[in-house]
Structure 1
Amino acid sequence: MVKAIEHIKKEIAALEEAVTLTAQELKAAYGIYLNSLAQAMRQQLILASYYICTQGYPERFLQLSLSQRQKLQQAIRKAAKKTAEGLISLTNMEGMQVDELEQQDILINYLRQLEIHNNHEQEDKSANSENAEQDQKKYEALDNHEQSGKTQSGNVPLNQVLSSNFLSLKVYSSEISNPAELIKWQQQIEARILANLKHISSEVNSVLKNADILPRRLPPSILDAAVIASETSAEIMSGPPNILNLVIEVETGSSSEETSLTQIMVLGLRLGEIEFANTQLSSLRKQIRYILGKLNKLGRQYQQKQRECSIAEAESAWRASWFED
């Protein structure tokens, strides 16, 4: 029994070494991806701002003086540069902590990636061997008591990362050897990406509003809610990319009961649309997804071996303490 436990622990150590290598590979992939994303974000932010000023509200833009137009454009470029620098530095951030809104981003993005991953698994199911399917079923049966249930997409692997200690990982380490810890780090990166896109969208909308391009009566909460609502949808929206067309109710008189419906156009950067419009970025996302697929498999094996080790140690402890009356 002791030899069996030692053998299982060696298998766990081998899996941890594989996870460490995967962690290094994942960080390198994100480094390249974030550099490409920063450039694509800047380009599409400027294009979306251009569309709002020239197609959405051309009359208002023409009312600005030359210096006002230049000031507006400079503010947009400055915001884009700052956000681009923030995106590039994400993988090197120390003390990565998230607020409540970013926690929502983590959950939304996590479920979205699980849906994509499960869809890929469904597509590849016909190519899987019968033994592989039996192994997967055996694992799910062994670990079923640790699973929190099913999503609409099916069984959720590694979903314990959404437990109360989900946000415990603060700093990236090249020595990460636990699959769940690496998943937490990856999801924090994704949450930061979404938070950066939301922040720059709100900031540029405020710049456009202060320049009288967008209506000044438009409440900031409406803009923020529109950006958040657009991000929760995984579908590519119709119309120009990263542009949101809204119909809102605004007060038209001194009485709060006098209102009218007004259609407005605002900026809302969406990660899906940025990637869709950039082939290089889409290819880099596929590479990250491929690495995450490997990590997912390592995670399932790691959980199974951890459970086998616990069972073997429990059996050994039982025998060591048992004696006949």
Structure 2
Amino acid sequence: MARAIERIDRDIALLKEAIAAIATELQKSYAIYLDLLGQAVRQQLILATYHLCTQGYPEKFLSLSLNQRHNLQQAIRKLGKQAGEQLLAIVSSEENQNAVAVDEEDEGDEVDEGDEVDEVDEGDDGDEVDEGDDGDEVDAKQFPDRVGDEEDEVDKIDAGGHRNAKSQISTLKLTDPSNPMQLLVWQQSLEKLTQHTLKKVSHDANAALQKVNILPNKIPEPILEVAAAASEASAEVMPGPPNLLNVVIEIPNEQDAEESSLTKVMAINLRLGEIEFADAKLSSARRQIRNTLIQLKKLGQDYQKKQRERSIAEAEAAWRAIWDDD
């Protein structure tokens, strides 16, 4: 029985080596992917804002002064730059990839409702990081022995919106890359960080557009969030320009609280699927991640099987060690 346990231990050790190699490959693949995604986000944010200003609300855009138009463009460029930096910071370097800090205090770079878009300085760098959602994931149910604390980290990100996600997740750690359950949690958390970063930049871009009265100031944000979530969950390609949300909402009349009007609103809504679809290099990087996750799924299942075999062998040995035939 001892030999059987030794053999199982050797198999587990080999599996852990293979899983650690997968972790290294996955980290490298995500570093490449997030770098490309950051570039694509900057481009797609500018393109979506261009369509919104020129096709959605051309009259309102033309009503702006030349200086307001210029500063709006600068604000959008700045938001795209910040999003790209934060995406890359998730797995930025060998020293930081196991503890990516989310600075709770650096909220000053959001476009605040009390500020004028004219005052935005393109040279300022923001430090907003939010979590993502709906990427390629290995189903957590495949690994029933997941550590509770690790599962809680993903649940926290699931529960966090783009406003409070930073206060819920302070670090993204991968302390044992040979542990498939921990690697799974790390990968899922990274995907959620990515998705929430897209939600945050969309939210801030819409806020910038509201400040110059291109978008209505009375947009019920929960409605936009629900519509954006439904749009993201849909596998279908949305009609019209990409990364824009078209929704009809009810806006109350400020003069008469009992009266309201239905208004069609176009808003920025960066969708990961549409961003990837428009960029061949980014799509290729996503396929590489997907292929690596397929390998992780197989190794993780083998690891769970061997752990189960070892538990059974240990239980059998423990039983026989104290059994008395009288």
Place the TM-score, normalised by the shorter chain, in its bin: 0.7 to 0.9
> Is residue 24 of structure 2 the alignment partner of residue 39 of structure 1?
no
Contact 2:137 2:187 in 1 (8 A): no
Contact 1:201 1:227 in 2 (8 A): no
State the shift of 1:168 in Å.
5.1
252 and 51 in structure 1: CA distance in 2 versus 1, 3 angstrom threshold: same
Distance 1:172 1:73 in 2: 36
- What whole-Å deviation, never above 9, does each CA across 1:214-251 have from its counterpart, x for those lacking one? 11222333433433332233332222110110000112
Distance 1:72 1:228 in 2: 26
- Residue of structure 2 in register with 1:49 after alignment: 49
- Residue of structure 2 in register with 1:294 after alignment: 295
- Residue of structure 2 in register with 1:166 after alignment: 151
- Residue of structure 2 in register with 1:81 after alignment: 81
- Residue of structure 1 in register with 2:324 after alignment: 323
> Is residue 292 of structure 2 the alignment partner of residue 307 of structure 1?
no
Distance 1:39 1:301 in 2: 38
SS of structure 2 residue aligned to 1:166: helix
- Residue of structure 2 in register with 1:278 after alignment: 279
Report percent identity of matched pairs.
48
> Is residue 222 of structure 2 the alignment partner of residue 221 of structure 1?
yes
Question: Which sections of structure 1, spanning at least 5 residues, go unmatched?
Answer: 116-146, 148-155
Distance 1:279 1:174 in 2: 33
Contact 1:24 1:174 in 2 (8 A): no
State the shift of 1:259 in Å.
1.7
Distance 2:148 2:290 in 1: 23
* CA RMSD between the two structures: 2.5
> Is residue 59 of structure 2 the alignment partner of residue 59 of structure 1?
yes
- What whole-Å deviation, never above 9, does each CA across 1:93-144 have from its counterpart, x for those lacking one? 52568x9xx88x65xx27x7459xxxxxxxxxxxxxxxxxxxxxxxxxxxxx
> Is residue 158 of structure 2 the alignment partner of residue 157 of structure 1?
no
Contact 1:90 1:189 in 2 (8 A): yes
- Residue of structure 2 in register with 1:199 after alignment: 200
State the shift of 1:258 in Å.
1.3
State the shift of 1:167 in Å.
3.9
267 and 253 in structure 1: CA distance in 2 versus 1, 3 angstrom threshold: same
Distance 1:237 1:160 in 2: 39
Distance 1:96 1:161 in 2: 24
Query: How does 1:9-158 map onto structure 2 within 5 Å?
Result: 9-91=9-91, 92=96, 94=99, 106=133, 109=134, 113=137, 156-158=141-143
SS of structure 1 residue aligned to 2:234: coil
SS of structure 2 residue aligned to 1:247: strand
Deviates most, 243-252 or 85-94: 85-94
Distance 2:147 2:273 in 1: 23
Distance 1:27 1:95 in 2: 13
Distance 1:268 1:198 in 2: 7
Distance 1:182 1:159 in 2: 14
Contact 1:248 1:263 in 2 (8 A): yes
Contact 2:89 2:100 in 1 (8 A): no
SS of structure 1 residue aligned to 2:151: coil
86 and 208 in structure 1: CA distance in 2 versus 1, 3 angstrom threshold: same
- Residue of structure 2 in register with 1:151 after alignment: none
Query: Per residue, is there more helix in 1 or in 2?
Result: 1
Distance 2:138 2:234 in 1: 15
State the shift of 1:166 in Å.
1.0
State the shift of 1:62 in Å.
0.4
Distance 1:66 1:162 in 2: 57
Distance 2:148 2:174 in 1: 21
- Residue of structure 2 in register with 1:3 after alignment: 3
State the shift of 1:197 in Å.
0.1
The amino acid that maps onto 1:29 is S
Contact 2:245 2:266 in 1 (8 A): yes
- Residue of structure 2 in register with 1:233 after alignment: 234
225 and 252 in structure 1: CA distance in 2 versus 1, 3 angstrom threshold: same
SS of structure 2 residue aligned to 1:213: coil
Contact 2:53 2:61 in 1 (8 A): yes
- Residue of structure 2 in register with 1:118 after alignment: none
State the shift of 1:208 in Å.
0.4
Distance 1:161 1:72 in 2: 47
Report how many residues are paired. Answer: 279
Distance 1:304 1:76 in 2: 51
